[in-house]
Amino acid sequence: MIDLRPIAASWPIEVVMGEKIIQVGCVTDLPAGPEGDLAAENAIEKANRLGWFTLRGTWIFPFHYWWDSIEEMTEYVKEKWADFAVIKPKVIKTARYVIRETKSTHRVRMRLKMLLSCWQKNR
Amino acid sequence: MPLQKDPEGVETRHLLQAVDFSRCSVLEIGCGDGRLTWRYAPFTQRIMAIDTDASALQQALKTCHPKIKKKTTFVCADSINLPFRYGIFDIAILSWSF
């Protein structure tokens, strides 16, 4: 069994200009958190507790979402992740400031934290 | 440019290093539009990909490569009431329950 999912954890927001990467803030996790995340944790914990599976390995790695602008990023978060995450105005303001000051071709990205766990079914 | 998700391929690298998909029958729970499915499909034998989002499944069918389509079945189903016999899959992927 492979458990592959993002972990809600104040994902960093970065402005990327060629080789230069500037972190302008983080996504703010809302208290509720993603409903699926909690359900997944509970399900995995139950399967482990009941001895159905044995953990073979766990990996954490970054997963980047890339947009052309901070506005596109903000719109996406508002539309798709409104239940559990928000980008605060201060972060948007900082991103715009960095982009304005550097006057360079840029993209913006969000660095999600991914969990990959491999479980072996017990006979 | 539209939104890009992991163009660096970090997720794919980790998944393929952690899991041997060769000659395996895979059940992917929460396949969505197939984004993750395309990453490992070339390396496995057969895939059953399920999701409760019918429109995402439509998108997956539309964008599925013909070679992958031959070995992949997309089904609108939820993980609580799986419409399959017990023990027919080698690997189950809980995909982005998020």
What is the structure's pLDDT at A34?
A: 59
Whether chain A has a CB inside 8 Å of the CB on B4: the answer is yes
Other Cβ atoms closer than 10 A to A14: 20
How many A-B residue pairs are in contact by the CB < 8 A criterion?
Answer: 71
pLDDT single digits (tens) A5-46: 988 779 999 999 999 999 999 999 887 665 666 777 788 888
Whether chain A has a CB inside 8 Å of the CB on B88: the answer is no
At residue B85 the predicted structure's pLDDT band, cuts being 50, 70 and 90, is confident
Whether chain B has a CB inside 8 Å of the CB on A70: the answer is no
Higher pLDDT, A34 or A64: A64
Strand partners, B48: B27, B73
Whether chain B has a CB inside 8 Å of the CB on A97: the answer is no
Higher pLDDT, A37 or B63: B63
Whether ipTM exceeds 0.85? yes
Do A5 and A34 touch, CB atoms closer than 8 A? no
What is the structure's pLDDT at A64?
A: 97
Residue of A nearest to B2 (CA): A67
The one-character DSSP state at B60 is H
Higher pLDDT, A64 or A82: A64
Residue of A nearest to B8 (CA): A64
Checking if the pLDDT of B98 tops 60, the result is no
Do A30 and A84 touch, CB atoms closer than 8 A? yes
- Please, what is the end-to-end C-alpha distance for chain A in angstroms? 14
Distances (CA, A) of A75 to B57, B86, B91, B92: 24, 42, 36, 33
SS (H, E, C) B8-37: CCHHHHHHHHHCCCCCCEEEEECCCCCCCH
Residue of B nearest to A3 (CA): B94
Averaged over A79-102, what is the pLDDT? 93
Measured CA to CA, the distance from residue B45 to residue A21 in angstroms comes to 40
Compute the mean pLDDT over every residue in chain B, rounded to the nearest whole number.
92
Averaged over B67-80, what is the pLDDT? 92
| Maximum CA extent, chain B | 44
What is the structure's pLDDT at B79?
A: 81
Distances (CA, A) of A63 to A10, A53, A121: 13, 27, 27
Averaged over B13-18, what is the pLDDT? 96
Q: Could A40 and B3 be called an inter-chain contact, meaning their C-beta atoms sit closer than 8 Å?
A: no
What is the structure's pLDDT at B83?
A: 79
Higher pLDDT, A15 or A85: A15
Residue of B nearest to A60 (CA): B14
Whether chain A has a CB inside 8 Å of the CB on B47: the answer is no
| Residue A101 phi, psi (nearest 5) | -70, -35
Contacts of B14 in chain A (CB under 8 A): 59, 61, 114, 116
Output the six-digit token pair for B79. 């993980």
